[in-house]
Structure 1
């Protein structure tokens, strides 16, 4: 493992354009459950019943309860050392871009800038009908918008398109990358799963469950632990 981490460290120092792509496994060390591991959200709840436009339209009570529980779960969650290391690497010019499938906002809270949130953010709310911004407290209280529409978090639901600006920005950075580090994601969700294929640079994959085979380095490790070792080597 140390040899692989040393190689990632070397690539990081040599690369002039490094992109980091993170998923739910990046946040588990902060105390958040992931989605597709054996103990993740989707082993307990079928996403097709809650995280969809159909649920928003036809089963709003379940939709509102599910996302309210996720929002409340974030109340005492803070970024871990791995988040802070990535933010520091950005400031030092070692990382040029961070993209994430996570909706928790922990990269930004850790000090990262210009983070592309490919699946949106659970920390803000809008009306599904008129698209006006709304107060989080109104959503948690199960209130409707002034126009009568249903409130929802600004997350990407199954069946919805990704935010175009975030997608185009990340795609551009991927094509320019000399190094792509993918951390804590199973890469099962399209179209984000295709992003690592968009680079001609070196690729490293860090995840507790290795289900990919097309990376130059594949490391079965916790995100924060791997990042701390690489940072120490730097």
Structure 2
């Protein structure tokens, strides 16, 4: 916590929290860039996360995403997810934007989460983009490395695809517009579990700073900080965020 004045958080009127894979790693959800183990180890995750891969082998890609989704359903929110949900009750306004495709923020109690990269829990038709809610999209017991034929759209009979943003696809327009609006309006941006250096995500800290907000990075790796508008709290978000809440409570209680 060295160099970070807790009053920046205590006095914030609108906090934007921007989370990445590091938030869910403590829940046992591997980051996308982690090497795949077991029967998936012969695949590069990036090679499975494209529209071309789905066209060429839909059963392979759907099976991998169903396996990932089953992992998420078996996981539980960790103290970082819970702390963010609690922080929303402590500040006048909080907007939560995530790059994660799991639902752990929602299960921790966060409301109206903005998913920049889509969600594993929102499959849609590959042909007509219609949302799909059929029970056959729910993963039952999924074996590692299992190929699974995707369901078919009830409207056009197209194959159902995972509701995530693949490489080569644009971010969904509405979530990205809402994220940029929050970056312009907030007075404090917490970047949690992500470097925030990869475009277009890197725009959010830039936009926030340009509009007068302070930016605080909470990450295992120390990020560049000037101690005036940008700060770094290096460490595990599941430890740092609950500690911030405790310090806020102690500070508000006074002597």
Please indicate, yes or no, whether the TM-score normalized by the shorter chain is above 0.5: yes
Pair 1:34-2:48 in alignment: no
Rounded to whole Å, the distance in 1 between the matches of 2:168 and 2:45 is: 12
Q: Which runs of 5+ in 2 are unaligned?
A: 140-147, 249-255
Query: For the structure 1 residues 225 and 41, does the alpha-carbon distance in structure 2 shift closer, same or farther, using more than 3 Å as the test?
Result: farther
Higher strand share: 1
Rounded to whole Å, the distance in 1 between the matches of 2:214 and 2:35 is: 30
- 2:196/2:205 contact within 8 Å kept: no
Give the structure 2 partner of residue 217 of structure 1: 231
**Partner deviation per Cα, 1:23-54 (whole Å, 9 max, x = no partner):** 00000111111133xx4559x54243101111
Q: TM (normalized to structure 1)? A: 0.88
- 1:125/1:136 contact within 8 Å kept: no
Q: Which moved more, 1:44-53 or 1:217-226?
A: 44-53
Query: Could you tell me which of 103, 106, 113 is aligned with 1:105?
Result: 103
Q: Which runs of 5+ in 1 are unaligned?
A: none
After superposition, where does 1:48-63 map in structure 2 within 5 Å? 48-63=46-61
**Partner deviation per Cα, 1:75-118 (whole Å, 9 max, x = no partner):** 21111122112112112335521100001011111111121111
After superposition, where does 1:51-90 map in structure 2 within 5 Å? 51-90=49-88
- Could you list the structure 1 runs, at least 4 aligned residues long, displaced by more than 6 angstroms after superposition: none
Rounded to whole Å, the distance in 1 between the matches of 2:36 and 2:192 is: 18
Query: For the structure 1 residues 188 and 203, does the alpha-carbon distance in structure 2 shift closer, same or farther, using more than 3 Å as the test?
Result: closer
Higher helix share: 1
Pair 1:19-2:16 in alignment: yes
Secondary structure of the 1:192 match is: coil
Pair 1:197-2:206 in alignment: yes
Q: Which moved more, 1:111-120 or 1:136-145?
A: 136-145
Give the structure 1 partner of residue 90 of structure 2: 92
Rounded to whole Å, the distance in 2 between the matches of 1:50 and 1:33 is: 16
Rounded to whole Å, the distance in 1 between the matches of 2:233 and 2:35 is: 20
Rounded to whole Å, the distance in 1 between the matches of 2:119 and 2:170 is: 14
Say what the alpha-carbon RMSD is for the aligned residues: 2.2
Give the structure 1 partner of residue 241 of structure 2: 227
- 2:218/2:235 contact within 8 Å kept: yes
- 2:16/2:189 contact within 8 Å kept: yes
Give the structure 2 partner of residue 145 of structure 1: 153
Q: TM (normalized to structure 2)? A: 0.81
